[in-house]
Chain A
């Protein structure tokens, strides 16, 4: 009896406590509070002076009820509630909290689990193939009425028509999906994210390269020799850690080694699954003896023989590579974004920035702007009228000049201000906010800048798209003011040496930049059988490739390659190659069409 009583009272206490806690918890606790209990709003605004102020400012337009919108985002790296300054901005503007679901953080199985449950998210961002199958299985809904009200609808109508008409199950005139990263430039123009920097090109620290006389490089052999000289001059970085000409990592390998795939573009071929696609639309299998994949393997192998490849390549993980790039322990980089690890304006002034070292025999495969989208799309995953309306408001903002300015450029007043001659000008804090992840003033929501950026991690228009308000790109790096500020000793000396304004101009003049139209095609997804073959062949190719790079001699290099080709046959490689050739034929066709336009 006694025990019973005590148990009852404990339970009662627990109940009261939980009731109290949940009433204090505010909006975050309830996702379905569509009836907008006024109490909740009061609790929230009372806790935050600024938001209560802005709330009263907006009070003229009847305040929307608080709502949590779930965003299922394939590319997101962050899972949870959108934090920081963007979080606050969305809350103030639309009274919306974004809850982001990220398969990259939660594991890919979440896609199967959530789609089996019949709801992915209110907003979904998926690869083209998944968008297609989600339309078929009824997981995403018709968004025609809503999309037609978007401010930017007319600006991107051509691309939207193109994309939606390619989807099965979408009638003409209907809009289900909004492709990601579209531009309003043209299907064949190329606007580099970093002005003057091609997507992939041999890039080295200018001070070290200048030190060896910035020699003319005819081919990869010369490049290796230059790297060797640089490494001999600087066997360690300033901290005394060993540095290498080249460092590689296996984390991003798929059907083949990613570090090789990137470099095949130097010689005009792009790896797509089991095939090499060139700028003219010709396709050969990856294991072709005269293909760029083998050529780059040979390059790494020769480099390793010359002693300029980091011996930990192949076993180290990305974190370890990251720290090497950050501390100038690797001299050759290739992707434009890798420059972000080291280049700063101060180092540029000292002549230490990384910059392209042209190699004469290259013809670089350069996709154009993602005019038609980048291979994913935004769509609406809810049929609830009220939610759908809020999704409409949100996506409208995210695709409008105001939204894109914020997403790509940051906070007006903190990151950038109006420039005297029109356009925008980055502030001193704004320039370094992303790189240093600097603190954001409390009035904008506090927290750290990079953490507070929209964590959906994919945009409705590309950063290189033109902002109709200023006539310049959304990306601050491309603003006239920034380019002017970016001129440094590094770039001046480079211009002096090569006689061109920047690397892109140099390559264009030399006829070494092959721009291919970037088309957004809904490629045929793998069947299960093909998928099994691909999964079985991938490790074979990768393992053999790594072993070839670190082979003892040329004979071993060749014999691993030959064995690989025979081994692959047994797993159905030929079938896979044929499948990929058919698959990418659609892409080639679209390219031809885009060029004809």
Chain B
């Protein structure tokens, strides 16, 4: 009997083996690439112990005031933009709730589709649209000029004020519909009976939202929030890459973009950008544990 059970165990292990292999290949094997940060790697010359430099690149990131302040600026931008996004992370939830309250089905479908669609447009195209709208000969300036409101075009693209907020607006325009899908799914899972009972007891629509819908969505919200916190440093780079120019780089260069700019320079500096992205992973890990600890204290349950 025991033997049969053991065999069964082996068989089941075989079933998950492919997935373990996948994780090993795609999640753990790439970590081997971290080794680049301890060498002076210059392709096409192969690795050799002669090019081992220890923690030189990590030191270099902090070698002088200028480098430190550059790294700090990049970190500031990263945290600021992720922070704004985090502070407004309730927006998709409310969007889903309000969308759910629309009773006219065709209108509801239209709003949802219109809000989700931008998610499928690449950032490169978004920038072309932005340029067509906001360049000096763009649509907005032409319209304002024709209406006689301005006589010199407004230079939107070179304006670097409120850059973080503007970037957040673009991000929200692109992501809001998509991010709310999770909540729409969660809402459809709420027991209809609760609403009926509440209505019999005389609850208004707002009260239903406040006492039934929102509390049912909170667990989803917190899971997503914690995941977002651990992703704080990963705010992507495509958006910032396409929008960056000489006037706004000081505010727009985030960590991922900085790493990208370093590794695609000519000649590329793979080693130092690896070191930088390694630091990033460590900070992300720390943030995840911190958020989880916070969750344990506040909600008395952990997500990991």
Contacts and interface: CB of A to CB of B under 8 A. Distances in A.
Contacts of A536: 66-67, 70
Given A115-B44, A311-B136, A532-B60, A250 B246 contact: yes
Interface class of chain B by DSSP: loop
B158 interface: yes
A343 B246 CA distance: 33
Contact of B269 (A116, A311, A532, A546): A532
B167 interface: no
A242 interface: yes
A543 B137 contact: no
Interface in A500-558: 525-526, 528-529, 531-532, 534-536, 538-539, 542-543, 545-547, 550
A314 interface: yes
A134 B60 CA distance: 28
B203 to A, nearest CB: 52
Contact of B131 (A120, A311, A315): A315
A531 B272 CA distance: 10
A310 B45 CA distance: 45
Nearest to A567: B66
B45 A531 contact: no
B136 A312 contact: yes
Contacts of B46: 116, 137
A137 B158 contact: no
Nearest to A550: B158
Contact of A111 (B40, B43, B135, B157): B43
Given A535-B269, A571-B66, A315 B44 contact: no
A488 interface: no
B44 A137 contact: yes
A241 interface: yes
A347 to B, nearest CB: 24
Nearest to B250: A543
A311 B155 contact: yes
Interface in A132-171: 133-134, 136-137, 139
Nearest to B69: A570
Interface in B39-69: 40-46, 60, 64-67
Given A130-B44, A134-B44, A531-B269, A316 B135 contact: yes
A108 interface: yes
Given A315-B158, A531-B267, A570-B64, A112 B153 contact: no
A534 B245 CA distance: 19
Contacts of B119: none
Interface in B256-297: 261-262, 264-272
B265 A570 contact: no
A112 B269 contact: no
A108 B158 contact: no
B265 A316 contact: no
A196 interface: no
A134 B45 CA distance: 7
A525 B269 CA distance: 13
B247 interface: yes
B249 interface: yes
A26 interface: no
Interface centre among B131, B135, B264, B267 (most CB of A within 10 A): B267
Interface in A374-419: none
Given A116-B43, A133-B42, A528 B155 contact: no
Contacts of B155: 311
Given A112-B270, A250-B246, A241 B42 contact: no
Contacts of A250: 245-246
A254 interface: yes
Contacts of B135: 312, 315-316
A320 interface: yes
Contacts of A136: 45
A536 B249 CA distance: 13
Nearest to B124: A317
Interface residues of A, number: 44
A241 B267 CA distance: 40
Contacts of A315: 131, 135, 157-158, 245
Given A532-B60, A571-B66, A108 B264 contact: yes
Contacts of A538: 265
A108 B270 CA distance: 12
Nearest to A566: B66
Contact of A316 (B66, B131, B247, B271): B131
Given A312-B137, A534-B265, A528 B42 contact: yes
B265 A546 contact: no
A539 B65 contact: no
B296 to A, nearest CB: 41
Contacts of B157: 312, 315
Interface string B108-136: 00000000000000000000000100011
B43 A547 contact: no
Given A111-B44, A133-B42, A532-B272, A525 B158 contact: no
B271 to A, nearest CB: 6
Contacts of A108: 264, 266, 268
Contacts of A571: 64, 66-67
Contacts of B44: 111-112, 115-116, 120, 130, 133-134, 137, 139
A111 B267 CA distance: 12
B237 to A, nearest CB: 15
Nearest to A568: B66
A534 B44 CA distance: 20
B67 A543 contact: no
Contacts of B250: 543
A316 B158 CA distance: 11
Nearest to B156: A315
B137 A242 contact: yes
Interface string A296-327: 00000000000000111011100010000000
A200 B249 CA distance: 31
Given A108-B264, A571-B66, A542 B246 contact: yes
23 contacts: A108-B264, A111-B44, A112-B44, A120-B44, A133-B44, A134-B44, A137-B45, A311-B136, A314-B158, A314-B247, A315-B245, A316-B131, A528-B42, A528-B271, A529-B60, A532-B269, A536-B67, A538-B265, A543-B246, A546-B245, A546-B246, A550-B158, A571-B67
Given A312-B157, A543-B249, 10 more contacts: A112-B270, A137-B44, A311-B136, A528-B42, A528-B272, A539-B261, A547-B247, A567-B66, A571-B64, A572-B64
